[in-house]
């Protein structure tokens, strides 16, 4: 089986944890915590990171192994990498940064011969995400948009990727056991048990840079709309629901606390109330899904349209074609494992 050459854009919590995960599951016999050992015939050891980009001056120019263990919680001591973090694009307003021109970035991406590009930058940088997607298309690489930017749901762009038989995955990554995935799963279970959901809310508090950026009112409301719509899909009827990030607390770091309150109606109209807390780590929660998406995107001998649709419904909150969480997972497993 050929290797999968990956370019990582944004070496923050998620990007750094992904790098640690590739190193760990490629060099250890311990598969605890790995959701799927093989996807589309590929193992984690088939993933090779060939390029990394960031706009943070403290990361650019440094060895990827060093950045990966300094940007988030250290789960794994990453062996020295041949990859140096290079300056990325910046097409949206931002603070101090180290950036490359579009032409320079495209050249570096093409030189890496990446098969797939992971867009793991912060929310709110929609123009930059679009710039990265177009550069990947030009380089002949599949593209994974983990941000809420409307990239995979852009019909014109999706058509261009499909014409080149490349997967365009997105939008807004659905973590393995994060706030939205858990919320969707609980609503699905309540409905399956014949109980009627009446009201539901999810409040998230985190300490990552992504959470801090989400405090911008425009970004907060956009993400809330995506999450709420994704959760509402799990019931065959409408119910009152609100979901989204509500507060940034710096000392939480990569951790996220999600608070849920659900009111349902059971037999004879009896009241059923759930009030619970979920504590997770953003970076680690994204790792398994990214591993699966990366490997599935490189599947051989499959219809590109159906492949893309299946990947997107499985791994993202806002895919172009939406499925309930149970059906999306079942379709993914049937196609790729």
Average pLDDT (223-230) is: 88
Q: Give tens-digit pLDDT for 104-123.
A: 999 999 999 999 999 999 99
Residue 16 neighbours by CB distance under 10 Å: 28
CATH number at residue 138: 3.40.50.720
Q: Would you say 50 and 57 are in contact if contact means Cβ atoms under 8 Å apart?
A: no
Longest dimension (CA), the chain: 67
Assess whether 215 and 264 both reside in one domain: yes
Q: Are 80 and 195 in the same domain?
A: no
* Domain shared by 122 and 265, yes or no: no
Question: Per residue in 175-192, pLDDT tens?
Answer: 999 889 999 999 999 999
* pLDDT at residue 37, rounded to an integer: 95
Specify whether 95 is located in the same domain as 69: yes
Return all residues near 158 (Cβ < 8 A) that are at least 6 apart.
152, 168, 308, 320
pLDDT digit string (tens) for 123-148? 989 999 999 999 999 999 999 999 99
Clarify whether residues 32 and 150 are in a common domain: yes
> Using CA atoms, how far apart are residues 96 and 118, in angstroms rounded to an integer?
23
The tokens for 245 are: 């990030």
Mean pLDDT of the 93-102 span:
78
DSSP 62: S
* Residue 200, CA distances (Å) to 20, 93, 97, 181 in order: 36, 36, 40, 14
**CATH of residue 275:** 3.30.360.10
Q: Are residues 167 and 295 in the same domain?
A: yes
Question: Token digits for 247?
Answer: 């507060």
Q: Are residues 209 and 167 in the same domain?
A: no
Residue of 80, 70, 64 lying closest to 19 (CA atoms): 64
Which residue range is the domain that position 34 belongs to?
4-174+284-336
d(CA 125, CA 132): 11
Residues 6+ apart with CB under 8 A from 112: 5, 7, 50, 51
Q: What is the number of other CB atoms lying within 10 angstroms of the CB of residue 126?
A: 17
Does residue 239 sit in the same domain as residue 269?
yes
- What share of residues in the chain are helix, strand, coil (percent, to 5)? 40, 25, 35
pLDDT, residue 96, reads 63
CA distance 74 to 247: 25
DSSP alpha helices (H): ranges in the chain?
13-27, 64-70, 102-112, 126-139, 155-163, 179-192, 209-214, 217-232, 282-296, 304-315, 325-336
Domain count, the chain: 2
- pLDDT single digits (tens) 58-79: 999 999 999 999 878 889 889 8
Q: Is the pLDDT of residue 268 over 80?
A: yes
10 and 135 share a domain? yes
φ and ψ at 161, to 5 degrees?
-65, -40
Q: What is the pLDDT at residue 95?
A: 64
pLDDT interval class at 220 (50, 70, 90): confident
Q: Are residues 27 and 136 in the same domain?
A: yes
**Does one domain contain both 128 and 13?**
yes
Q: Give yes or no: residues 36 and 134 share one domain.
A: yes
pLDDT at 306 over 70: yes
């Amino acid at each position: 089986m050929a290797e999968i050459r990956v370019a990582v854009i944004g070496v923050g919590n998620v990007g750094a944890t992904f790098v640690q995960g590739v190193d760990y599951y490629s060099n250890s016999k311990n598969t605890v915590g790995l959701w799927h050992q093989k996807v589309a015939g590929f193992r984690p050891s088939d993933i090779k990171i060939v390029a990394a980009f960031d706009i943070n001056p403290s990361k650019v120019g440094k060895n990827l192994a060093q950045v990966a263990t300094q940007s988030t919680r250290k789960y794994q001591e990453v062996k020295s990498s041949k990859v140096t973090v290079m300056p990325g694009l910046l097409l949206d307003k931002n603070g101090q940064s180290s950036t490359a021109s579009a032409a320079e970035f495209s050249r570096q991406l093409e030189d890496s011969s990446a098969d797939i590009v992971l867009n793991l930058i912060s929310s709110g940088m929609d123009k930059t995400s679009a710039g990265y997607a177009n550069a990947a298309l030009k380089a002949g690489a599949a593209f994974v948009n983990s941000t809420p930017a409307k990239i995979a749901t852009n019909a014109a762009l999706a058509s261009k990727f499909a014409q080149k038989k490349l997967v365009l995955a997105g939008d807004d990554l659905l973590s393995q056991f994060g706030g939205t995935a858990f919320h969707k799963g609980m609503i699905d279970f309540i409905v399956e048990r014949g109980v009627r959901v009446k009201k539901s809310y999810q409040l998230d508090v985190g300490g990552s840079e992504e959470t801090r950026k989400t405090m911008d009112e425009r970004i907060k409301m956009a993400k809330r709309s995506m999450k709420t719509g994704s959760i509402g899909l799990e019931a065959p009827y409408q119910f009152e629901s609100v979901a989204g990030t509500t507060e940034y607390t710096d000392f939480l770091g990569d951790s996220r606390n999600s608070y849920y309150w659900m009111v349902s109606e059971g037999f004879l109209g009896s009241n059923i109330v759930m009030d619970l807390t979920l504590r997770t780590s953003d970076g680690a929660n994204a790792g398994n899904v990214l591993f699966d998406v990366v490997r599935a995107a490189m599947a051989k001998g499959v219809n590109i349209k159906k492949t893309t649709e299946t990947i997107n419904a499985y791994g993202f909150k806002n895919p172009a074609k939406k499925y309930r969480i149970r059906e999306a997972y079942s379709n993914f497993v049937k196609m790729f494992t």
